[in-house]
Amino acid sequence: MDAYAAFAEIYGEWSAPMTEDVPFYVELAREADGPVVELAVGTGRVAVPVAQAIGRRVIGIDISPAMLQKGREAAEAAGVDLDLREGDMRELSVEEPAALIYCPYRSLLHLPTWAERRRVFERVAAALEPGGRFAWNAFVFDPAIAFPQDRVARPFPGSTRIWVYAEHHPEDNRVDVTAFVGQPGHDAR
């Protein structure tokens, strides 16, 4: 089962406001003298402009076939070479050591436990060439922000159709966010 299949359909709209990270990853890729790998590549939001900027293949790994299909479509439309592979970042393995591995847009936080995140770091360390780099995006959790939004459906900023529902789990220092199309209590079809 593809847990991200429905999300793939709205991801473009969901991620549209997030653009400031792209130049950061592009610059890292320009400095990389060797293979470039993106974890949780999804729709290619970052991998496509990275491939355009460096003029060579970017390997993208994602657990979701639906997201990868969107990534293939984006790569084809942009005329770039993405080697998109279905796989779990916790089991990262590449044929040739990478010069750069990156994981944008807080995707590492999709893993629910610290042990799973540590496993990714271990797999990344094993996949990097000597002197290779790993870059990722995360945020510092702020309970003062999470508590007022706990278990309240609200419109996603900048969207007229996407809503989000967040559940704060203080025992795990975790917030589970569900995105959906339509207003709460209404049929979203």
User: Starting from the edge strand earliest in sequence, which strands make up the sheet with 98-103, in order?
Assistant: 82-86, 58-62, 36-39, 98-103, 128-136
Would residue 188 count as lying in a domain?
A: no
pTM of the predicted model as reported, rounded to 2 decimal places: 0.81
* Predicted local confidence at residue 98, as pLDDT: 98
Note whether 169 and 112 are same-domain residues: no
Please determine, for residue 119, whether its predicted confidence score (pLDDT) is greater than 90: yes
Note whether 28 and 93 are same-domain residues: yes
Give the range of the structural domain holding residue 19, as residue numbers without chain letter. 5-136
Percentage of the chain exceeding pLDDT 70: 88
Please determine, for residue 187, whether its predicted confidence score (pLDDT) is greater than 50: no
- Which of the pair, 142 or 119, is modelled with greater confidence? 119
* Predicted local confidence at residue 49, as pLDDT: 98
147 phi, psi to nearest 5 deg: -60, -45
Please determine, for residue 65, whether its predicted confidence score (pLDDT) is greater than 70: yes
Rounded to an integer, the average pLDDT of 10-26 is: 86
Please determine, for residue 186, whether its predicted confidence score (pLDDT) is greater than 50: no
Domain tally, the chain: 2
Last residue within a domain, chosen from 102, 118, 136:
136
Q: Work out the end-to-end distance of the chain between its first and last CA atoms, rounded to an integer number of angstroms.
A: 21
Note whether 97 and 53 are same-domain residues: yes
Note whether 116 and 173 are same-domain residues: no
Note whether 90 and 171 are same-domain residues: no
Last residue within a domain, chosen from 136, 154, 173:
136
Note whether 150 and 127 are same-domain residues: no
Note whether 46 and 99 are same-domain residues: yes
Would residue 67 count as lying in a domain?
A: yes
Note whether 107 and 32 are same-domain residues: yes
Rounded to an integer, the average pLDDT of 56-77 is: 97
* Predicted local confidence at residue 147, as pLDDT: 61
* Predicted local confidence at residue 145, as pLDDT: 64
* Predicted local confidence at residue 41, as pLDDT: 97
Note whether 85 and 41 are same-domain residues: yes
Note whether 84 and 110 are same-domain residues: yes
Note whether 91 and 131 are same-domain residues: yes
- Which of the pair, 164 or 77, is modelled with greater confidence? 77
CATH number for the domain that contains residue 108: 3.40.50.150
* Predicted local confidence at residue 89, as pLDDT: 97
Would residue 43 count as lying in a domain?
A: yes
Q: How confident is the model at residue 146 (pLDDT cuts 50, 70, 90)?
A: low
Q: With beta carbons less than 8 A apart as the criterion, state whether 38 and 59 touch.
A: yes
* Predicted local confidence at residue 189, as pLDDT: 36
CB atoms within 10 A of CB 168: 19
Would residue 187 count as lying in a domain?
A: no
Q: Which helix (H) or strand (E) segment is 32 a member of?
A: none
182 phi, psi to nearest 5 deg: 105, 165
Closest CA to 72 of 47, 97, 54: 47
Would residue 189 count as lying in a domain?
A: no
Mean pLDDT, all residues of the chain: 87
Note whether 127 and 164 are same-domain residues: no
* Predicted local confidence at residue 164, as pLDDT: 74
